[in-house]
């Protein structure tokens, strides 16, 4: 179902913005080009192209939970004359969130250098309450490298797949895209250094927030100088030392001609790639990085630099009005958080910051010796730092919407900031009035996007001149003061009417790009801070190291630039074949990447090149003969024909074109040198059409060895029997030794190696130049069984299919336990038999194997069923990737028997003791919940012999179900849900007609990561409430049940929650009156909430700890 309507783009809410990629290591990457499903084009192909520059597209996805593809594309739709589609990852793009992107549908067929710009929002519609719709918006310049853009963590999968939440109704999900297209100029040929004198930083995933901060810090020269002066040594590694990594990064920003990678720096932070891809907060990173550097500077010549630059002090005071009493406290700050909401500019925010609060009435101040008093409370500044960092509070909690929102209101900031204004109204009496607090704007950090993420870039004027520069990841541009200031104030913007006939209402966009952090430098400290930083400030070892790196880079770049003038000639010789065959390779003759290569100018005549070869190998020119290699139709690569005398007079470049249809820059040759007495070279023999050059390998079945013996010219009309004596001589056998000959024909996709009839002519056996003959002693008839691989074909088959597998215990999935060399063709039984033998286990059927997930680098959730795959190769394949890891378990009963049983992990909660014990229950699949309870009773300690048990399904700290005793256990999934068993309390057995059994859950309001939402934690439970019972009475019972001390319990708040929204209760409220509506969308969506802090460590609440992760705060580990 597809609809196109002009949208009201009025909502904001957004998240980690990255081009879709399967966690790529360096920089934003586009997705691979995917064949578009034919069906997907049907709806949109007939749309008129002359459509508006902005449209809404609705995509209804049925049978959503049954989608079993990693990626799922919508139909194509047109906006602004372009084809678009939505791409989702129904199970997340390597995260436990739905991943969703806007994709340029025809990116694969667009002309080179295409580019288009769009502002867009993506939404998952809440089909029960529209106000809970999740909508996120952003803007992006799409191009060939980034042809899709969006949100890797759009919304938690647990919310999406929870039927009570309203995002999936009748297994149908509705996705909405609103897109507005704007025209832009192409910029791929742009050179930042040439245009501006500065270079950018590469984006390492979602690290633009870090890039904008690093550029700002780098352009404070005094800070940069201090970083250069931090002591490091030549033995330090940048990836293990924050000072060295930052020195290296700053040096490259100062002296490099191209954008600089931040990988070494994030490695020095101790960040893994997942951290780099989690978008964080600039302010959070700024504080953590400065604290880290402050710590690393201690005891060095630059100790205290961070404080000198960024530290200011303010005084918190409370002053009584009617008595002579004043309390003050001095505090330091590195940055100031200023309100945006309700403030028109920075001065209004400072006015609000120092606003005096009256403490009177119920809110009087308790002054020592004076009791409760009316008082004034406020903040004044003792001193401001030379570099003033202002964090603008663009995010705040909206109580009406019960979520964090971004404030996109207009908010002005001046080029010059006078904090002495109005006779120093911001200053405390202790402030030094001789210091002039007049500041000049140095940089503006901009956040573009919505509440959960977005894109960051910075406007900076490095020398405080009138010229501003925009630092947007890799790209640096010159900008005027209007772009840096006024356009970052926020507010609303009206899009120009590009198609007035279609829709005459102006299309207003809230400007989602606006200033988020400001850096001011004090005028009186300007000379000191904007100081000169040159090479002498950089430690010599660092200069040498980084210059060497730079030179290597330049050398590679020069080589690349001049590559079209040169040809690489790779020369293989007999010595290479002898060295490689049986060690590095078994099939064909040589690995060309491991032979001597020459970089030769294309104009050089080939005869001159032969002189280079003579110098290198000590083979005079007259004894050299070169053969061209050719790729055969069966994918083997063999010497094909010798170069003619006429060809040898050509240039190297002409020869390469003769030999190479693929036009790569390489020429591959085989150097034939005939050796005579005492290995002296001889002139090459004349070659006629009758002469065939054959290569010979010798196989030893006893040692299982294959080696290269040499080559011979034979006559096409000759027969193998005529050269047997010669072959025996080459092999060191007696002249009359019986030998068998085989032709190695091909090895991909399978091995083809055929016996040669010694009595047929070479031509009759279809042998030609470059063919390979493998030979061995004829195996004795009576002794054929004592060798594993008695003949050449069986050995080559073994080599082709052998696979070293790393086995890990499922209990220690990160550590290799042992390795086995197996064959990819081994059956299931052969594999488990070899594992059992390794573990000295008599019964191989007690081994259970689990495959490896190449994406998550963890075991797959489901083990391999008994004889569930045919071959080892099937066990190692994950999508289109092959792994060499398997996990094993040793079971206490044979696997076929276990598969007839259902295994459940049940957490038993003791009625009186504060303990939880996990029991593994194993019963036949046709058993019922009643059977589970009976089995448990024999294993657990009950409070009394007649106690009744029940089984509950718990997920994310909520009770979703009480299992009826008759339910079949085969339907129960304990992989994601926790199964909990508990005694049924006596009071619940005697429910009165007016009594209600309600759900009680613990919760906290979580404002981390800029979003305010209810987070459940701890153990949920049931409680009986009686008709007319007040909250005060219920609280007494809850406190007794949970054994909470009075002091802590007094801090708890109690709320009635419906669909995640708390309504706080007073002690006098009748609790039962709230729970009149039965089973709204499931009883768990109406509950009594106990709000208090969660003191337990955060963890994924599942039976399997490896399945889910929580987002982490910024941490720098080194």
Instruction: Return left, alpha or beta for 260; rule: phi > 0 is left, psi -120 to 50 is alpha, else beta.
Output: beta
Active site residue 320: no
Q: How far apart are CA 397 and CA 404, in angstroms?
A: 4
Which position among 208, 320, 343, 774 bears the catalytic label? 208
Among all chains, which residue has been given the structure tokens 């229950």?
A: 921
3 state DSSP class of 141:
strand
Report yes or no: 393 and 341 within 8 Å, Cβ to Cβ: yes
- CB of 843 within 8 A of CB of 836? yes
Contact between residue 181 and residue 77 where contact means Cβ atoms under 8 Å apart: no
**Beta-strand (E) ranges in 321-454?**
326-333, 336-339, 357-359, 365-367, 371-373, 375-383, 387-393, 395-398, 403-406, 416-418, 438-448
Rounded CA separation 354/425 (Å)? 8
Which parts of 203-361 fold into alpha helices (H)? 208-218, 221-228, 242-255, 263-268, 273-277, 282-297, 305-310, 346-353
CA distance 551 to 559: 12
- The residues, ordered by sequence, that sit 6+ positions from 1114 with a Cβ below 8 Å of its Cβ are 280, 281, 284, 285, 288
Is residue 664 helix, strand or coil?
Answer: coil
- Distance between CA atoms of residues 441 and 485, nearest Å: 10
CB burial string 878-898: b at 16+ within 10 A, e below: beeeebebbbbeeeeeebeeb
Identify the residue whose tokens are 């700002």: 216
Q: Which two tokens stand for residue 505?
A: 């209402």
Strands (E) across 867-939 are located at: 877-878, 881-882, 885-890, 901-909, 916-924
Name the nearest CA neighbour of 107 among 196, 19, 214, 195.
Answer: 19
Helix and strand totals (H; E) in the chain: 28, 59
Catalytic residue among 452, 455, 800, 1002: 455
Pairwise CA distance, residues 941 & 249, whole Å:
62
Q: Which of 1092, 1087, 1080, 1090 is nearest to 164 (CA)?
A: 1080
Sheet holding 173-182, edge to edge: 2-5, 54-61, 173-182, 115-124, 134-143
CB of 177 closer than 8 Å to CB of 102: yes
Of 318, 421, 312, nearest to 368 (Cα)?
318
**β-strand 97-104 against 148-156: which pairing, if any?**
antiparallel
208 among known catalytic residues:
yes
Report the distance separating Cα 679 and Cα 1113, nearest Å. 70
What is the distance between the alpha carbons of residues 503 and 680, in angstroms, rounded to a whole number? 90
What is the separation of C-alpha 1068 from the centre of its chain, rounded to a whole number of angstroms? 51
Torsion of CA 612, 618, 624, 630, to 10 degrees: -70
Instruction: Give the residue among 418, 346, 435 at the shortest CA–CA distance from 383.
Output: 435
Distance CA 365, CA 378 (A): 13
38: tokens are: 């034919």
Alpha carbon distance 523, 388 (integer Å): 11
Which residues make Cβ contacts (< 8 Å) with residue 475, sequence separation at least 6? Answer: 187, 190, 192, 200
Is the Cα dihedral 360, 366, 370, 372 positive or negative? positive
Catalytic residues, which ones?
208, 455
């Amino acid at each position: 179902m597809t609809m196109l309507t002009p949208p009201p783009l009025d909502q904001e809410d957004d998240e980690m913005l990255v081009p879709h990629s399967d966690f790529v290591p360096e920089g934003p990457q586009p997705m691979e080009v995917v064949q578009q499903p034919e069906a997907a084009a049907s709806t949109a192909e007939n749309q008129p192209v002359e459509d508006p520059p902005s449209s809404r597209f609705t995509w209804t996805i049925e049978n959503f939970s049954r989608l079993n593809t990693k990626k799922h594309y919508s139909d194509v739709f047109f906006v602004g004359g372009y084809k678009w589609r939505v791409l989702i990852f129904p199970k997340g793009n390597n995260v436990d969130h739905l991943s969703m992107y806007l994709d340029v549908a025809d990116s694969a067929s667009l002309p080179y250098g295409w580019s288009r710009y769009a502002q867009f929002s993506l939404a998952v519609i809440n089909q029960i309450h529209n106000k809970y719709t999740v909508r996120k918006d952003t803007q992006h310049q799409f191009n060939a490298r980034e042809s899709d853009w969006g949100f890797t963590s759009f919304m938690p999968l647990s919310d999406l797949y929870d039927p009570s939440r309203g995002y999936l109704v009748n297994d149908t999900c509705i996705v909405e895209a609103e897109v507005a297209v704007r025209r832009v100029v192409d910029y791929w040929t742009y050179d930042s250094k040439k245009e501006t004198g500065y270079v950018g930083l590469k984006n390492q995933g979602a690290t633009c927030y870090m890039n904008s901060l690093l550029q700002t810090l780098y352009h404070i020269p005094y800070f940069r100088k201090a970083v250069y002066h931090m002591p490091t040594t030549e033995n330090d590694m940048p990836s293990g030392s924050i000072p060295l990594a930052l020195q290296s990064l700053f040096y490259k920003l100062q002296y490099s001609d191209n954008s600089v990678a931040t990988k070494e720096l994030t490695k020095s932070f101790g960040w893994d790639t997942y951290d780099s891809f989690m978008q964080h907060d600039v302010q959070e990173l700024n504080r953590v990085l400065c604290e880290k550097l402050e710590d690393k500077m201690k005891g060095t010549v630059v100790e205290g630099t961070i404080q000198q630059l960024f530290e200011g002090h303010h005084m918190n005071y409370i002053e009584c009005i009617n008595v002579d009493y004043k309390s003050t406290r001095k505090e330091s700050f590195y940055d100031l958080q200023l309100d945006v909401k309700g403030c028109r500019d920075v001065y209004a925010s400072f006015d609000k910051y120092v606003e005096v609060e009256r403490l009177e009435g119920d809110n009087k101040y308790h002054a020592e010796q004076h009791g409760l008093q009316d008082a004034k409370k406020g903040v004044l500044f003792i001193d401001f730092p030379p570099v003033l960092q202002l964090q603008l509070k663009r995010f705040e909690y909206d109580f009406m919407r019960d979520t964090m929102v971004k404030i996109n209101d207009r908010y002005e900031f001046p080029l010059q900031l006078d904090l002495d204004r109005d006779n120093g109204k911001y200053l405390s009496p202790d402030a030094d009035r001789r210091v002039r607090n007049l500041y000049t704007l140095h940089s503006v950090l901009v956040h573009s996007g919505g509440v959960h993420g977005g894109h960051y870039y910075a406007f900076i004027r490095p020398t405080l001149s009138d010229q501003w520069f925009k630092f947007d990841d890799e790209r640096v541009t010159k900008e005027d003061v209007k772009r840096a200031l006024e356009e970052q104030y926020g507010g609303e913007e009206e899009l120009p009417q590009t198609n007035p006939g279609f829709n005459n209402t102006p299309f207003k966009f809230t400007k989602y790009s606006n200033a988020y952090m400001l850096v001011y430098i004090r005028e009186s400290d300007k000379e000191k801070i904007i100081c000169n930083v040159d090479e002498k400030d950089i430690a010599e070892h660092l200069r040498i190291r980084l210059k060497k790196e730079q030179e290597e880079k330049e050398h590679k770049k020069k080589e690349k630039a001049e590559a079209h003038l040169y040809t690489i000639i790779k020369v293989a010789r007999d010595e290479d074949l002898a060295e490689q065959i049986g060690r590095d390779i078994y099939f064909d003759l040589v690995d060309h990447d491991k032979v001597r290569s020459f970089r030769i100018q294309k104009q050089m005549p080939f005869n001159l090149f032969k002189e280079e070869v003579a110098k290198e190998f000590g083979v005079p020119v007259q004894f050299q003969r070169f053969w061209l290699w050719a790729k055969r139709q069966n994918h083997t690569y063999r010497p094909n024909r010798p170069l003619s005398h006429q060809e040898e007079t050509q240039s190297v470049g002409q020869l390469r074109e003769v030999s190479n249809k693929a036009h790569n820059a390489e020429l591959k040759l085989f150097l034939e040198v005939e050796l005579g007495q005492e290995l002296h070279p001889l002139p090459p023999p004349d070659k006629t059409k009758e002469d065939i050059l054959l290569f010979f390998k010798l196989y030893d079945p006893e040692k299982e060895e294959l080696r290269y013996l040499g080559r011979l010219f034979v006559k096409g009309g000759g027969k193998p029997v005529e050269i047997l004596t010669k072959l025996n001589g080459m092999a060191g056998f007696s002249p009359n030794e019986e030998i068998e000959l085989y032709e190695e024909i091909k090895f991909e996709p399978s091995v083809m190696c055929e016996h040669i009839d010694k009595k047929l002519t070479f031509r009759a056996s279809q042998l030609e130049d470059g063919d390979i003959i493998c030979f061995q002693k004829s195996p004795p008839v009576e002794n054929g069984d004592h060798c594993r691989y008695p003949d050449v074909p069986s050995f080559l088959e073994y080599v082709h299919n052998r696979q070293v597998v790393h086995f890990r215990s499922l209990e220690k999935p990160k550590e290799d336990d042992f390795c086995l060399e197996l064959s990819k063709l081994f059956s299931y039984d052969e594999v488990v038999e070899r594992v059992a033998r390794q573990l000295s286990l008599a019964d191989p059927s007690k081994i259970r194997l689990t495959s490896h997930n190449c994406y998550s680098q963890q075991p797959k959730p489901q083990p391999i069923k008994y004889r569930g795959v045919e071959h080892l190769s099937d066990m190692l394949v994950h999508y289109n990737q092959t792994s060499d890891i398997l996990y094993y378990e040793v079971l206490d009963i044979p696997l076929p028997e276990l598969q007839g049983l259902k295994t459940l992990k049940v957490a038993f909660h003791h009625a009186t003791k504060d303990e939880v014990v996990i029991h593994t229950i194993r019963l036949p699949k046709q058993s019922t919940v009643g059977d589970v309870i009976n089995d448990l009773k024999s294993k657990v300690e009950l409070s009394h012999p007649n106690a009744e048990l029940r089984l509950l399904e718990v997920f994310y700290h909520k009770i979703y179900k009480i299992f009826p005793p008759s339910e079949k256990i085969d339907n129960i999934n304990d992989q994601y849900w926790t199964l909990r068993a508990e005694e049924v309390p006596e009071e619940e057995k005697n429910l009165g007609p007016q009594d209600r059994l309600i759900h009680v859950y613990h919760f906290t309001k979580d404002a981390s990561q800029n979003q305010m939402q209810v987070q459940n934690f701890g153990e949920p439970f049931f409680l009986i409430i009686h008709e007319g019972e007040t909250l005060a009475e219920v609280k007494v019972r809850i406190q007794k049940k949970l054994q909470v001390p009075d002091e802590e319990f007094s801090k708890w708040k109690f709320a009635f929650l419906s669909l995640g929204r708390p309504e706080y209760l007073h002690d006098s409220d009748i609790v039962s009156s709230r729970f009149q509506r039965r089973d709204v969308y499931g009883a768990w969506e109406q509950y009594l909430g106990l709000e208090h802090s969660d003191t337990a460590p955060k963890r994924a609440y599942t039976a399997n700890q490896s399945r889910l992760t929580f987002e982490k705060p910024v941490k720098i580990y080194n």
